[in-house]
Amino acid sequence: NTACDTGAEALTSALAVTTGGQSIPRYCIPNPIRGGRERCYYLFVPDCAEGQVPLVVDMHGGLSCPLWSTIFDKWTETAQRHCFAVFYPIGVTDPEVADYPCFHVPGGNVLL
């Protein structure tokens, strides 16, 4: 399957074996620049992380998504070994902005 699943449980389901079933929740917040349309991300905080911990931001490439990125970059597994959090933003999926998932910077080039 080549679909970029960005559903609420996409990373939790795909990485259940790797994380021992630990949840990787998706959060969505309104984007004031895009008229309140939501921008979503996943956040993985391993059970071993306590208090303030380092945060790695995993920016997937154009035409990709957090699900595919986690399969290849292994940040989730590394975060479990070294007790840090990983932030997986979901690129723009609005067809009015871009033809494929990417990161859009207002006033900048859509195709980063």
Residue-wise pLDDT for 47-101, tens only, equals 999 999 999 998 876 667 788 788 788 899 999 999 999 999 887 666 666 665 5
Residue of 93, 87, 74 whose CA lies nearest to 24:
87
> What is the model's pTM?
0.79
pLDDT interval class at 104 (50, 70, 90):
low
| 12-37 pLDDT per residue, tens | 888 888 888 888 999 998 877 767 77
Q: What is the pLDDT of residue 100?
A: 56
Dist. CA 56–CA 50, nearest whole Å: 16
Neighbours of 79 (CB within 10 A): 23
Assess contact for 91 and 110: CB atoms under 8 A: no
